[in-house]
Amino acid sequence: MEQWIANHVRGIVDSLIYSALGIVILVAFFWCVQRLLPFSVKKEIEEDQNVSLGIILAAFIIGISMIIAAVLRS
Give the pLDDT score at 55: 93
Element spanning 38, H or E: none
Give the pLDDT score at 73: 73
Helix (H, G, I), strand (E, B) or coil at 27: helix
CB 55 within 8 A of CB 8: no
pLDDT band at 74 (very low <50, low <70, confident <90, very high): low
Give the pLDDT score at 28: 92
Give the pLDDT score at 36: 92
Q: pLDDT tens digits for 23-72? A: 898 889 889 988 998 988 888 888 999 999 899 889 988 988 888 788 77
Give the pLDDT score at 44: 87
